[in-house]
């Protein structure tokens, strides 16, 4: 059950999620409580960069004002300086020079402000992202295994990549530009209002008309983008399926059918992609020409007003009003675009915060595992690794500490468990592993073997019953200490980017090079490692892609060996590695198991036959138990399975 689920989660996540920056005309994702999300993101920014953020705001205001005064200057240039000089025999350029110097100063301030803003934004943006990234990762590491088993790994990854990326876009571009546009609009609007209230109303009406038309086109475009996305998903799914199975297609000469289906999906995608893009492409020209239309309308109405000297409206005022009107539509377009990409980023933020709001693993344990030595029959705690361990109990009532030797006795008492409350996977499991015993779990896929091991190290917590470890309820043991006492070799070997040495040392960070090599030797891994190009310093990449399956397993065994845990959980690999390597792996495992309490999910007869106890699981229940001889004598399920095999061999 758990195995299956794990396999599924390796598949990539949703592919319907829009990637990259928001494009014009793309449908906006639905976001719940956008305001709250926005505040939460800003709280990250504000927590560390309050002063910088304030400075950025001031910079934006300064650069906008510098820009607006420049626009204003065009009017004063013509009305106040040039026009009076026209026709003068000896025009005095002094006042104009002075005015221009002032403008130069304003511009200089604007440029300086823009540069300061850009530099500040780099720090704010990258700094915030770094903190968010670190926080997501730290939180993720604390999440229970259940989270990773129930969420597609592709989706979790996508939070780190796509969602953080859209956030970068939002903080570095959308938000400053949004403010910039908003301030520009407000200041232009203020200027327009001082020039003429009726004309401003006309101008605003045209803006409203423009927005209305944009919304109409965007709606159509959005609908088609959804269709395009859906068709793209279908085609991608088909491609993924047939190309992955292309060799089978060829073996069955199925190319023609495959082409037919592909053409059909390809055509549908083409139609919707065309429509979506066509509508999106229209938005630009519509906006631009509406701006021009607005210019004409304002010129006409303004002309009427000016020529009739309505409320003191002058020709010069009209000229500058027209300039403002022209500069008005751009920031409005900008704002609607930035708004879209902010919403897009909020959808990403929603996923980020969903991860951050996941409940982390809880740990109420207080019993600790310590290294110890025995002096005069007394257990004494030591700092260094002695190979001997003890449980350290702290008694709150009396404020005293007692020690109990770690032996490796594991008991399940009437344990019932289900991954979901409505589906029980294990029923009333009772088992007792004496220190040093080897317990083999056998049974078909889904019988609950892996689940039992998941419960011992508390990857999952039991719903009913008790698990005792050296007679201590495992809930009372601190999780890190519990897990440190259990060595695990999983069926799928996972390795990390780094050298072979680092990968083995993962089991015990304090291990010296000599100890690592000794562990590798114990695991039978030393031989092949020395044959690698750089021996123990060989870099492993991509989950050890440059190693064979068998070699990876040997490294995992060495990793467990260097941790030197009192109790072992082994999941034997079923994958067919060749007979010789398998023998080496087997020997490595056997050496590791000797002297430790071991739970092994067994696939090899040799392992099972050598076990002290064999538990035969079926549908979450232990149906038979005993050692090999006892079970054979019982002539039950085990006998049936075992002899079925033997029959087949001798038939």
Partner 1 sequence: MLKTLTAQIGEFKLVSVLTPLMMIFEVICEMVIPVLMGRIVDLGINGGSMEYIVRTGLLMLVVALMGLMFGILGGVFAARASAGVARNLRKAMHDNIQTFSFSNIDKFSTSSLVTRLTTDVTNVQNAYQMLLRMAMRSPMTLIIAMSMSFIISPRLASIYLGAVVILAVIVMLLMGRVTKYFKKVFERYDDLNSSVQENVSAIRVVKAYVREDYEVHKFNVAAGNIYKMFKKAENNMAGISPFMMTVVYSCILLISWFGAHFIVSGSLTTGQLMSLLTYCMNILMSLMMLSMIFVMLTMSEASAKRIAEVIQEKSSLTNPEEPIMEVPDGSIVFEDVDFSYRPGKGDPVLKDVTLSIRSGESIGIIGGTGSAKSSLVNLVSRLYDVTQGRLLVGGHDVREYDMEALRNQVSVVLQNNVLFSGTILDNLRWGDPEATEEDCRRVCRMACADEFIEKMPDGYMTYIEQGGTNVSGGQKQRLCIARALLKKPRILILDDSTSAVDTATDAKIRKAFAEEIPDTTKLIIAQRIASVKDCDRIIVMDEGRVSAFDTHENLLSSSEIYREVYESQVGAGADADFDKKQ
Can you tell me which of 134, 381, 513, 537 binds partner 1, judged by CB under 8 A?
A: 134
Residues 230-269 that bind partner 1 (CB under 8 A): 232, 235-237, 239-255, 258-259, 262-263, 266-267, 269
Query: Of the two residues 346 and 577, which places its CB atom closer to partner 1 in the complex?
Result: 577
Query: Of the two residues 31 and 345, which places its CB atom closer to partner 1 in the complex?
Result: 345
Smallest gap from residue 269 Cβ to partner 1 (A): 7
Q: Which residues contact 415 (CB under 8 A, 6 or more apart)?
A: 426, 428, 429, 430, 455, 462, 464, 465, 466, 467
Smallest gap from residue 378 Cβ to partner 1 (A): 28
* Residue 554 to residue 531: CA distance in whole angstroms: 14
Residues 277-336 that bind partner 1 (CB under 8 A): 277-278, 280-282, 284-286, 288-289, 292-293, 295-296, 299-300, 302-304, 306-307, 315, 318-319, 322-323, 326
Please tell me whether residue 362 binds partner 1 under the rule CB under 8 A.
no
Residues 578-607 that bind partner 1 (CB under 8 A): 578-580, 582-583, 586, 602-607
Residue among 187, 195, 192 nearest 206 (CA): 192
Smallest gap from residue 371 Cβ to partner 1 (A): 15
Please tell me whether residue 175 binds partner 1 under the rule CB under 8 A.
no
Query: Of the two residues 76 and 336, which places its CB atom closer to partner 1 in the complex?
Result: 76
Q: Where are the beta strands (DSSP E) in 272-386?
A: 368-375, 378-382
Residue 357 burial by Cβ neighbours in a 10 Å radius (0-12, 13-18, 19+): exposed
Smallest gap from residue 276 Cβ to partner 1 (A): 8
CB 617 within 8 A of CB 623: yes
Q: Which residues contact 281 (CB under 8 A, 6 or more apart)?
A: none
SS3 446: coil
Binding letters toward partner 1, positions 5-34, x by CB under 8 A? ---x-x------------------------
Please tell me whether residue 611 binds partner 1 under the rule CB under 8 A.
no
CB 283 within 8 A of CB 213: no
> SS3 string of 378-429?
EEEEECCCCCCEEEEEEECCCCEEEEEECCCCEEEEEEEECCECCECCEEEE
Residue 349: what are its φ and ψ, rounded to 5°? -60, -35
Please tell me whether residue 632 binds partner 1 under the rule CB under 8 A.
no
Can you tell me which of 216, 445, 471, 630 binds partner 1, judged by CB under 8 A?
A: 445
Can you tell me which of 57, 65, 100, 518 binds partner 1, judged by CB under 8 A?
A: 100
CB 351 within 8 A of CB 321: no
* Residue 567 to residue 546: CA distance in whole angstroms: 31
CB 202 within 8 A of CB 301: yes
Residue among 180, 202, 365, 211 nearest 299 (CA): 202
Please tell me whether residue 212 binds partner 1 under the rule CB under 8 A.
no
Can you tell me which of 31, 156, 431, 523 binds partner 1, judged by CB under 8 A?
A: 156
Q: For partner 1, how many residues bind (rule: CB under 8 A)?
A: 162
Residues 213-232 that bind partner 1 (CB under 8 A): 232
Please tell me whether residue 539 binds partner 1 under the rule CB under 8 A.
no
Binding letters toward partner 1, positions 364-403, x by CB under 8 A? ----------------------------------------
Please tell me whether residue 651 binds partner 1 under the rule CB under 8 A.
yes
Query: Of the two residues 255 and 414, which places its CB atom closer to partner 1 in the complex?
Result: 255
Residues 68-87 that bind partner 1 (CB under 8 A): 70, 73-74, 77-78, 81-83, 85-86
What region, left, alpha or beta, does residue 625 occupy, with left being phi > 0 and alpha being psi -120 to 50 degrees? beta
Can you tell me which of 40, 483, 621, 625 binds partner 1, judged by CB under 8 A?
A: 483
What region, left, alpha or beta, does residue 359 occupy, with left being phi > 0 and alpha being psi -120 to 50 degrees? beta
Residue 512: what are its φ and ψ, rounded to 5°? -80, 170
Please tell me whether residue 358 binds partner 1 under the rule CB under 8 A.
no
Query: Of the two residues 97 and 463, which places its CB atom closer to partner 1 in the complex?
Result: 97
Residue among 281, 316, 344 nearest 79 (CA): 316
Residues 102-131 that bind partner 1 (CB under 8 A): 103-104, 107, 110-112, 114-115, 118-119, 121-123, 125-127, 129-130
Strand 613-618 and strand 621-626: the pairing is antiparallel
Smallest gap from residue 392 Cβ to partner 1 (A): 16
């Amino acid at each position: 059950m758990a195995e299956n689920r794990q396999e599924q989660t390796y598949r990539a996540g949703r592919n319907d999620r829009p990637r990259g920056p928001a494009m014009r005309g793309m449908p906006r994702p639905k976001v719940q409580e956008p305001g709250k999300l926005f505040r939460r993101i800003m709280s990250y920014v504000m927590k560390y960069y309050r002063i910088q953020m304030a400075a950025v705001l001031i910079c934006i205001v300064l650069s906008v004002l510098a820009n607006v005064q420049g626009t204003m200057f065009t009017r004063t240039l013509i009305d106040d300086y040039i026009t009076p000089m026209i026709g003068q025999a000896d025009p005095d350029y002094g006042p104009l020079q002075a005015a221009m110097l002032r403008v130069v100063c304003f511009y200089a301030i604007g440029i300086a402000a823009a540069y300061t803003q850009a530099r500040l934004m780099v720090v704010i943006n990258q700094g915030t992202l770094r903190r968010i990234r670190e926080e997501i990762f730290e939180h993720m590491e604390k999440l229970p295994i259940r989270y990773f088993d129930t969420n597609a790994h592709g989706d979790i990854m996508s939070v780190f990549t796509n969602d953080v990326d859209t956030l970068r876009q939002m903080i570095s571009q959308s938000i400053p530009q949004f403010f910039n546009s908003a301030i520009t609009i407000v200041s232009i609007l203020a200027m327009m209002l001082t020039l003429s209230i009726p004309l401003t109303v006309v101008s605003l009406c045209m803006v409203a008309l423009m927005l209305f038309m944009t919304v109409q086109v965007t709606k159509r475009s959005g609908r088609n983008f959804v269709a395009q996305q859906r068709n793209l998903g279908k085609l991608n799914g088909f491609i993924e399926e047939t190309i992955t199975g292309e060799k089978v297609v060829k073996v069955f000469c199925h190319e023609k059918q495959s082409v037919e289906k592909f053409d059909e999906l390809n055509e549908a995608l083409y139609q919707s992609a065309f429509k979506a893009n066509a509508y999106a492409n229209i938005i630009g020209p519509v906006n631009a020409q509406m701006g021009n239309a607005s210019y004409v309308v304002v010129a006409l109405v303004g002309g009427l007003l000016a020529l009739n000297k309505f409320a003191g409206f002058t020709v010069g005022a009209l000229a500058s009003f027209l300039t403002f009107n022209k500069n008005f539509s751009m920031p409005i377009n900008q704002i609607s675009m930035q708004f879209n990409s902010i919403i897009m980023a909020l959808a990403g933020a929603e996923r980020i915060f969903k991860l951050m709001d996941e409940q982390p693993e809880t740990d109420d344990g207080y019993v600790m595992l310590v290294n110890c030595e025995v002096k005069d029959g007394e257990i004494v705690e030591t700092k260094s690794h002695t190979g001997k361990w003890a449980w350290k109990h702290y008694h709150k009532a009396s404020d005293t500490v007692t020690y109990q030797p770690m032996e490796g006795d594991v008991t399940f008492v009437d344990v019932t468990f289900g991954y979901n409350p409505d589906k029980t996977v294990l029923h009333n499991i009772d088992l007792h592993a004496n220190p040093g015993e080897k317990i083999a779990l056998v049974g078909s896929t889904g019988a609950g073997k892996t689940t039992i091991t998941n419960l011992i190290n508390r990857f999952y917590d039991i719903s009913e019953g008790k698990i005792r470890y050296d007679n201590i309820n495992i809930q009372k043991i601190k999780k890190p200490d519990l897990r440190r006492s259990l060595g695990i070799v999983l069926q799928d070997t996972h390795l990390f980017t780094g050298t072979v040495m680092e990968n083995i040392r993962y089991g015990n960070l304090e291990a010296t090079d000599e100890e690592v090599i000794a562990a590798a030797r114990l695991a039978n891994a030393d031989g092949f490692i020395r044959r690698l190009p750089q021996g123990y310093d060989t870099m492993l990449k991509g989950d050890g892609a440059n190693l064979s399956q068998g070699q990876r397993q040997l490294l995992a065994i060495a990793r467990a060996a260097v941790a030197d845990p009192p109790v072992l959980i082994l999941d034997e690999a079923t994958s067919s590695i060749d007979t010789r390597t398998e023998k080496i792996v087997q020997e490595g495992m056997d050496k590791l198991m000797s002297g430790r309490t071991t739970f092994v999910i067994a696939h090899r007869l040799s392992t099972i036959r050598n076990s002290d106890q064999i538990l035969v699981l079926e549908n979450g229940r232990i149906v038979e138990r005993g050692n090999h001889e006892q079970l054979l004598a019982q002539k039950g399920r085990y006998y049936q399975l075992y002899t079925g095999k033997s029959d087949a061999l001798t038939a």
